Amino acid sequence: MTTFPAATILGYPRIGRDREFKKAVEAYWAGRATLEDTEAALAAVRAQTRERLSGLGLTEPYSIPADATGYDQVWDIASSLGIVPARFDDLRAEDGSLDLTAYWTVARGVGDRPPLEMTKWFDSNYHYLVPEISPDTDIRLVDDRVVRLATEAPGLRPVVVGPVTLALLSKAADGAPEDFTPLDRLDDIVAAYADLLRALAAAGVEWVQLDEPALVADTWPREETVAATSSAYATLGGLADRPAILVVGSYGPLGDALPPLAASRIEAIGLDLVKGQIPDDVDILTGKTVVAGVIDGRNIWRADLQEAFGELGELGARLGDDSPVSVATSTSLMHVPHDVEREGGMYPELRTWLAFADQKVGEVLTLARGLAEGRGAIAGEIAKSVEVRARRAAHPGVRAGEVPVVPDAFRSREAYAERVAAQEDLGLGALPTTTIGSFPQTGEIRRARAAHRAGTLSDADYDAAMRAEIARVVELQERLGLDVLVHGEAERNDMVQYFAENLEGFATTEHGWVQSYGSRCTRPSILWGAVRRRGPITVEWSRYAQSLTAKPMKGMLTGPVTILAWSFVRDDQPLAVSADQVALALREEVADLERAGIRVVQVDEPALRELLPLRAEDQPSYISWSVRAFRLATSGVKPSTQVHTHLCYSEFNEIIDAIDGLDADVTSIEAARSRMEVLEPVEEHGFARGIGPGVYDIHSPRVPSVEEMEAQLRLAVGVIEDRRLWVNPDCGLKTRGYAEVEPSLANMVEAARRVRQNP
């Protein structure tokens, strides 16, 4: 067996340096490329990644991870094991496999067949597809995709979501017995993994990485998680014909899942030493390779190499000579952009503070060299990292970061009943219809924005173009019969970046793309200093839109927690402090919207669930400061101003107390893909304010029928009184086209009309 490499990463950005992955698959979906051309383009992205990582210095066998995906890593392994919803059985080949076209069809849905549900990957902004398992799902290895990718070049380490995490992240398929859980099928899942490991060994692969982030979370009962871990790895570790196994527990400490892994015969264990610490019982790993995740895979600040090297030294001393220590990132680098050196337009001093994926590879290699040759070999690099962090801490824009103590009175509004009475003159009846905010970002809009940014379109002409688009969107909503309108956000490039560009303390990137889900990418902003509002941001656009209609027009803002979650946030002060800074800036904007005559203000918090700590003991503190930040942003208005919020893929039942604590007048939430699963926790909790469970999944190109949305609404009215029940899509519409949006919204309005007339 080849020795595990001294330096490695747990994964790398999968989208290509210039989003070649996105361009290739979307060209195929749009009919502009053949499947053969698309597969060749995706192979080229993988080859580019291997060449880049080798050039950066990852040259040891199995130091480069083979972690490319066709859409999502969870769906990759689920489809490879034949875990395909019954509604798509006709797409399967005789052996049970899916070709690439069918694989994408299940991910995106088609006709009257909805896609797999999508939700957040642990506490990140990545979305994964939720497999559906029933007692009779035929779970077996049906696809050699993992083997093919691992053997594209010598010495690649395949990366696969582990069996326990796959079982825990899956959901019971429709029609499964009420007491069934996918974990009941763990033995069958493990048997299929055993076949996969044998196939890898037969192909000459000597190391495989099994990612088990579910082991660090309290989302599931710990006893069941630990028992499943013990069972799965006793079996897989005991196989005679298999590669050596690295099990990785990213996003937090493994805790009580560590002993069963240590007791198994697996060869290596990866520890997240950024979110966790060296375990007190680390000595139980003696004899195994310990892959030490000391370089942050989630954020973009340069590492403190002095601190990291010290931690590596302590780990090595506690383990002894029988346990090699390999240096690694704490998580896959899929969460960060490719290369900070491409950001030529960034403030030069700020750029020296940052490390994107390529720079993190360099940090890993530096630390590994220090372990091999002694601290003196990397003394210069350590001194430079200390100097950079000191210079950053002394920067005036960073040092001005304190937030004054905010009185509790600034975080509360009048009682909900008083607000309802004050809002009666909005004229909203039963089942009011609205959208979440954005409308399609057409090519014309993007070209106008690009021309304005390049200086080839004047301010006046850009303003005229955006006003024309706003007028078009308002007219469309009037024609469709929506009750509460939006201006469509034509002027916004992104719901976070737009605000970052108008707030002090933020910077944006030119090439800093990361994968959000499937082919969708986002460009997180960088919160590096003290946050202040320079002046009104959205007010004039909202004022103009309201002037075009007598119906209520929503002012649209992104909430403080989401701005933090979808940015790279400074790591030198508590998140709660940064959240209050952003909230105070938004509070000024909300007040200005109200003064401009906007009676409905939506402050979106789609990422509220995303930052929820994975360990239960850490959750109360997070919920407290995140709720307080939202209320600080929204509590400065009159009772007659209706405050909305929106949450995406939030697993409502896990944070319903926090959502209730936001005290918004109306909360809209994703519900279409999960087919109204949110209704049960709503009913159990007694949620008493307005709520809009989405009836239209905007992440799929389908046009849902009137009957489909009517059925969803009828489920909802069985739980929520119609005057509190809002009718809306799951999310904003910017990623869709008008050819889908217009008929979908027309069907949504008609579904609401039918339910109103015949409850």
**Rounded Cα–Cα distance for residues 589 and 557 (Å):** 9
Place of tokens 């701005």: 563
Strands 64-66 and 127-129: unpaired
**Rounded Cα–Cα distance for residues 65 and 10 (Å):** 7
**Residue 327 tokens, joined:** 């240096």
Give the HSE-up count for residue 330: Cα atoms under 13 Å, Cβ half-sphere: 23
Place of tokens 């190391």: 207
DSSP codes, 57-115: T--STT-EEE---SS-HHHHHHHHTT---GGGGGGS-TTS---HHHHHHHHH-BTTB--
Q: Decide: helix, strand or coil at residue 603.
A: strand
**Rounded Cα–Cα distance for residues 557 and 603 (Å):** 5
- Of 127, 338, 644, 699, the catalytic one is 699
> For residues 559 and 605, is the Cβ–Cβ distance under 8 A?
yes
**Rounded Cα–Cα distance for residues 191 and 397 (Å):** 56
CA 255 to chain centre: 24
Query: 703, 751, 677: which is closest to 111 by C-alpha?
Result: 703
Strands 525-533 and 503-507: antiparallel
**Rounded Cα–Cα distance for residues 373 and 77 (Å):** 39
Any catalytic annotation for residue 699?
yes
Residues comprising the chain, all counted: 759
**Rounded Cα–Cα distance for residues 638 and 640 (Å):** 5
Query: 27, 736, 729, 23: which is closest to 442 by C-alpha?
Result: 736
Q: Hey, how many other C-beta atoms are within 10 angstroms of the C-beta on 695?
A: 28
Q: Decide: helix, strand or coil at residue 215.
A: helix
Long-range contacts (CB closer than 8 Å, 24 or more residues apart) made by 29-36: 29/104, 29/108, 29/701, 35/100, 35/101
User: Cα angle vertex 315, ends 310, 320, to 5°?
Assistant: 130
User: Cα angle vertex 651, ends 116, 110, to 5°?
Assistant: 20
Place of tokens 């969107």: 473
Tell me the longest C-alpha to C-alpha distance in the chain.
79
User: Which of the residues are catalytic?
Assistant: 699
